[in-house]
């Protein structure tokens, strides 16, 4: 089938197998490998992207369901270098192996978009669907909190 969508504000029309996972289409057909595969079964959040502004696990989405949508991946989180949130992850050494980090950043961005000054509890709740095997979460929460403090100026 032919599928048309926009990814990070660029338009694509691709010939794809309808049930191919969006995760694989993004990585293999669009060439954006920032979106990672962890579990491949909707449990870890590593493959998170925005579809029409909603965070979804791209490993669970057949590409046939994405026709006409607007998709944002980790590569599209900032148009101009690293945004405040991404820089905070670096400043706080919040990434170790890095597999979970694109999904963490998508989840954190989704939170800050609707709640620019979250509490630590709200941050923990927002990333509850994103599993990290390496960091123990503390530095990730610290980084998101720092980015939120930056929002307050």
Q: Shortest gap between Cβ of 153 and ligand FES (angstroms)? A: 29
Interface region with ligand FES, contact rule CB under 6 A, candidates 1-9, 24-32, 61-69, 90-98: 90-98
Q: Is 37 in the site for ligand FES (CB under 6 A)?
A: yes
Determine, following the binding rule CB under 6 A, whether residue 57 of this chain makes contact with ligand FES: yes
Residue 133 near ligand FES by CB under 6 A: yes
- The DSSP H or E segment spanning 146 is helix 138-151
Among residues 106, 107, 9, 1, the alpha carbon closest in space to that of 63 is found at 1
With CB under 6 A as the contact rule, the residue among 30, 45, 69, 108 that binds ligand FES is 45
Do residues 26 and 32 touch, judged by C-beta distance below 8 A? yes
Q: Are 64 and 56 in contact (CB under 8 A)?
A: no
Helix (H) or strand (E) holding 108: helix 101-114
Check binding of 134 to ligand FES (CB under 6 A): yes
């Amino acid at each position: 089938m032919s599928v048309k969508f926009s990814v990070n504000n660029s338009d694509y029309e691709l010939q794809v197998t309808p049930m191919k996972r969006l995760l694989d289409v993004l990585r293999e057909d669009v060439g954006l490998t920032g979106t990672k595969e962890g579990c491949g079964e909707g449990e870890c959040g590593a493959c998170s992207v925005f579809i029409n502004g909603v965070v979804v696990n791209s490993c669970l989405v057949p590409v046939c369901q994405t026709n006409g949508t607007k998709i944002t991946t980790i590569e599209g989180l900032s148009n101009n270098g690293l945004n405040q949130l991404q820089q905070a992850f670096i400043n706080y050494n919040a990434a170790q192996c890095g597999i979970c980090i694109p999904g963490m950043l998508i989840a954190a961005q989704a939170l800050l978009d609707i709640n620019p000054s979250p509490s630590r509890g709200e941050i923990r709740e927002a990333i509850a669907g994103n599993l990290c095997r390496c960091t123990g979460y503390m530095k990730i929460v610290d980084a998101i909190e720092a980015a939120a403090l930056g929002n307050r100026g």
